[in-house]
Amino acid sequence: MKSTTRVVVIGGGIAGCSTLYHLTQEGWSDVVLLERNELTSGTTWHSAAQVTNFGMNQTMVGLKTHSINLYKELRDDPEYPVGYNHGDGGIRLANTEAQMEGYRHFASMARGMDVEFEVIDAEECARRHPLISTDNLLGGLWDGSDGHIDPAQLCGALSYRARKAGAEVYRNTAVTALTQHKDHTWTVHTDQGDIDCEIVVNACGYRVNEVGAMMGVQHPVTSMEHQYFITDDIPEVVNAGKRIPLLRCPISDYYSRQEKGGLLVGFYEQDCKTWGMDGVDPNFVNALCPDDLDRVMDVLEGAFARMPALAEAGIKTIVNGPITYTIDGAPLVGPIPGKRNAFCIIGLRAGLGEGGGHGWLLAQQIVHGEAQYDTWCIDPRRFAGHTNVELTALKAIEDYQNEFRFHFPNEHRPVGRNAKTTPLTPVLAAENAEFTVVNGWERVEYFKPNPDFHVTYGFGFDESFDIVGKEIEGVQNGVGLTEVNGFNRFEITGSGAQDFLDRMICGRLTRKDGRVGLAYLLNEHGMLKGEATIANIPASERGPARIWYGSAAASELHDMDWLQKHLRDDEDVQIRSLTNDQTILVIAGPKARAVMQSVSRADWSKEAFPWLSVRECFIGYAPATVMSVSFSGEMAYEIHVPNASLYAAYLALREAGKEHGMTLFGALAVESMRLEKGYLHWKADILTEFDPFETGLDRFVKMDKPDFVGKAALEKRHAAGPKVHLVTLKLDSTDGHAHGGASLMDAGKVVGTVSSGGWAYRTGLNLAYAFVKPGYESIGTNVEIDVSGKMVAAEVIERDIYDPNYELVRG
Ligand SMILES: Cc1cc2nc3c(=O)[nH]c(=O)nc-3n(C[C@H](O)[C@H](O)[C@H](O)COP(=O)(O)OP(=O)(O)OC[C@H]3O[C@@H](n4cnc5c(N)ncnc54)[C@H](O)[C@@H]3O)c2cc1C
């Protein structure tokens, strides 16, 4: 065994084999895979191994397309051919109009990734799948590329190719401990000796937390028992004259595919079971859990009803094995939070279908620092600090029970709530707040007219439409109050703080005491990495002058990683997170200044505290740090309050607000107003796939600065000209808004992709932001947007349509 290498990948299932192969493809051949037993002896060997192109967003669709193309290439490679039934086709069934509408949206989204899904009616489903009845069926989504692959051959072929490219694979070599050194390199201890390396990758399937513990990390991954059976030959299958398509059923929670002359049918039962929560038997190798078909009787009946021929079939084999789930159902592929030179590819619950793509995107991250698609939806840093074993298990169970039921945009699932709250959560709940969850935080969406109010889940406008409109009216005509909790906030201090930040952002750094500026961070490729509000808080009796760096609610671990990684050893800079200590109250509207004046002794006049200022003060007797910044386009104050004083500040503001008719508003109102004002959302409109010029952020870039992270690459990109443009569109429709991912069409061709959409109440417009191809960015350009299957006319308009001269925010 080698004693040094560049990367050690731990685990020889599909996750590890794919990562190893793709590292060699990205140019690193001095890489090693360690497997404690034989390759595929964890979950991979017994997988049903279905390979679909379906995904809920473009990154997932893109990585699955990569899997499919790679698997086809492997199938056709005479040197090491892999059994891959590609193109049997598959149907995701639907029995509600809302599911059909969702499928139409996903079809629109996938088209932007060159993937064609068809939404078909019940008769067409039955025509394509000869075994199904159309009872209680509306239709489904057809994925023509659906199929399945031989898992052992797949992993064998990937490791064969990796070894040919210089990688080494050591089987029967168990990792027993990990030591990280001061220079962030690692020693990997195994039962066969030690290996020193720069980077480690955890690809350990259901043993993820055994290896996690070796580096002091508890990953939010739980295993669930999952069963399928394989039938004897079924005459209808044998005599079909073609291969039977796959089925996935959100009505009765099962899937099926052809296996020889019979069917393989798998179940997501409601009465499901976690596995290995108290540790995994070291001898559980190439092993299965005991059969337990009683547990799946409820879903089995649904499968019998849909495929009557199944009820007559004998069962040949039952497989019950552990499958990993994360806290939100999507895998964790990327840097391990809080660790340097450590990555993971874990929590794969559809690892055969997705594994080719995940290994590809992970290898790109390791070798190039970033993947070609924005990988936030699979980034391990998307959960900050609330994911213990219990919460992970509860969410895993919920996700398993809903395996084929996609999240509607206005749906907030009930399990694991109140993980992160503030003293105001029960107070706002008593005001009938409807909450959504952002990185564990309960965030107010809107205020319900009564506690029993519910919206209908779907993609169109729902029953909250007028409520949100009224909340915006309250802000626009008077003053509104909302709580914005969980926003990321770092305090940055030290003599080198300003120079450090200047290097990190691509624009002019606001250095003046008492002033606030908006800034953008790029990666080394010149692409957008982050957005931050930088506030220079003057020295006061509360402490010396310091900088507050504020960014999106879920970005805490991501941004901390990024900033820490760029700190130089000789720099006097300290970064401390205040995210969990402070919460923001926002008051917005033309009467906001009057409220501030009556609740705080300071002088809040325009002259004394103009737009983009920051100061410390008291709200009543609650200490606060106030910024005159606005995300709504109205005059507004962000009031940052320590959680201990939050309730006091809230009561003082409500009391002072009485004479000004203060109302409450929530995040849906903010979302509408920010769209109208031309502001962007991190990870909706601000993505690592685009640079700041393509995203329309030219005024935040200062190319004549001596240097900043990403400058050299941005110069090259800028010289070559933008590949896309972010534009604002108004849609000719009042039925519903476009959702992120929807395709823009011109003469039957995709010319862009929606990043955000919503109704703009103050201007009465149905708005969308979209990244469009060059030639489609001019004001007045007409296109169509495929909004959940309806072609809606849309026109490019100015970005900043509400108060373009910023008179309102200045007050
Ligand atoms: C019944 C069932 C049906 C499924 N059907 C499908 C399907 O149709 N389509 C689909 O895409 N997915 C399916 N899946 C899921 C899929 O099989 C998994 O997502 C995938 O196999 C996970 O691969 P992995 O590499 O992450 O984990 P594993 O295959 O478990 O590999 C992890 C490897 O790490 C090794 N390891 C662990 N600890 C150490 C250590 N300390 N040192 C060295 N090596 C170590 C293990 O020995 C193991 O080989 C199914 C799963 C089940 C259970």
Q: Looking at ligand 1, which residue's alpha carbon is closest to its atom 31?
A: 13
Q: Which two tokens stand for residue 808?
A: 């309102």
**Rg (alpha carbons) of the chain, rounded to whole number:** 27
- 724 has a pLDDT exceeding 90: yes
Q: Which atom of ligand 1 is nearest to the CA of 322?
A: 53
Q: Looking at ligand 1, which residue's alpha carbon is closest to its atom 27?
A: 205
Q: Is 85 left (phi over 0), alpha (psi -120 to 50) or beta?
A: beta
The per-residue pLDDT for 385 is 83
What pLDDT, in 10s, does the model give residues 71-114? 999 999 999 999 999 999 999 999 999 999 999 999 999 999 99
Q: What is the whole-number distance in angstroms between the Cα of residue 382 and the centre of ligand 1? A: 23
Question: Which of 307, 306, 352 shows the shortest CA–CA distance to 331?
Answer: 352
The per-residue pLDDT for 800 is 86
Indicate the average pLDDT of the chain.
97
Q: What is the whole-number distance in angstroms between the Cα of residue 222 and the centre of ligand 1? A: 13
The per-residue pLDDT for 731 is 98
Q: What is the whole-number distance in angstroms between the Cα of residue 13 and the centre of ligand 1? A: 5
Side chain identity, residue 383: F
Q: Is 678 left (phi over 0), alpha (psi -120 to 50) or beta?
A: left
What pLDDT, in 10s, does the model give residues 502-514? 999 999 999 999 9
Q: What is the whole-number distance in angstroms between the Cα of residue 721 and the centre of ligand 1? A: 44
Q: Which two tokens stand for residue 694?
A: 């393509």
Question: Which of 259, 264, 236 shows the shortest CA–CA distance to 129?
Answer: 236
Q: What is the whole-number distance in angstroms between the Cα of residue 43 and the centre of ligand 1? A: 3
- 372 has a pLDDT exceeding 90: yes
Q: Average pLDDT, stretch 420-426?
A: 97
> Which residues contact residue 488 at a Cβ distance below 8 angstroms, ignoring those fewer than 6 apart?
550, 551, 552, 553, 554, 555, 556, 559, 577, 579
Q: What is the whole-number distance in angstroms between the Cα of residue 391 and the centre of ligand 1? A: 22
Q: What is the whole-number distance in angstroms between the Cα of residue 14 and the centre of ligand 1? A: 7
Q: Looking at ligand 1, which residue's alpha carbon is closest to its atom 50?
A: 47
Q: Looking at ligand 1, which residue's alpha carbon is closest to its atom 12?
A: 350
Q: Which atom of ligand 1 is nearest to the CA of 206?
A: 30
- 492 has a pLDDT exceeding 90: yes
For the chain, what percent of residues have pLDDT higher than 70?
Answer: 100
Question: Which of 347, 365, 348 shows the shortest CA–CA distance to 356?
Answer: 348
Sheet with 528-537, strands from edge to edge, namely 516-522, 528-537, 546-551, 488-493, 574-577
Pocket of ligand 1 (CB under 6 A): 10-16, 34-37, 41-44, 46-50, 174-175, 203-207, 210-211, 226, 228, 266, 319, 321, 323, 348-353
Q: Looking at ligand 1, which residue's alpha carbon is closest to its atom 20?
A: 351
User: Quick count: other Cβ atoms within 10 Å of Cβ 531?
Assistant: 24
Q: What is the whole-number distance in angstroms between the Cα of residue 80 and the centre of ligand 1? A: 22
**In the structure, what pLDDT confidence band is assigned to residue 811 with cuts at 50, 70 and 90?**
confident
What pLDDT, in 10s, does the model give residues 184-229? 999 999 999 999 999 999 999 999 999 999 999 999 999 999 999 9
Q: What is the whole-number distance in angstroms between the Cα of residue 38 and the centre of ligand 1? A: 12
For the chain, what percent of residues have pLDDT higher than 90?
Answer: 99
Q: What is the whole-number distance in angstroms between the Cα of residue 42 and the centre of ligand 1? A: 5
Name the helix (H) or strand (E) containing 615. Answer: strand 614-619
Side chain identity, residue 536: N
Q: Alpha carbon of 799 to those of 685, 721, 741, 763, 805: distances in Å?
A: 13, 20, 19, 13, 12
- 393 has a pLDDT exceeding 90: yes
Distance between CA 93 and CA 251 in Å, rounded?
Answer: 8
- 258 has a pLDDT exceeding 90: yes
**In the structure, what pLDDT confidence band is assigned to residue 382 with cuts at 50, 70 and 90?**
very high
What pLDDT, in 10s, does the model give residues 638-656? 999 999 999 999 999 999 9
For a ligand 1 pocket test, name from 63, 204, 378 the mutation site with the most ligand atoms within 8 angstroms of its C-beta.
Answer: 204
Question: Which of 573, 577, 679 shows the shortest CA–CA distance to 634?
Answer: 679
For a ligand 1 pocket test, name from 32, 39, 43 the mutation site with the most ligand atoms within 8 angstroms of its C-beta.
Answer: 43
Q: Average pLDDT, stretch 424-439?
A: 97
The per-residue pLDDT for 386 is 86
The per-residue pLDDT for 638 is 98
Q: Which atom of ligand 1 is nearest to the CA of 351?
A: 19
Q: Which atom of ligand 1 is nearest to the CA of 39?
A: 49
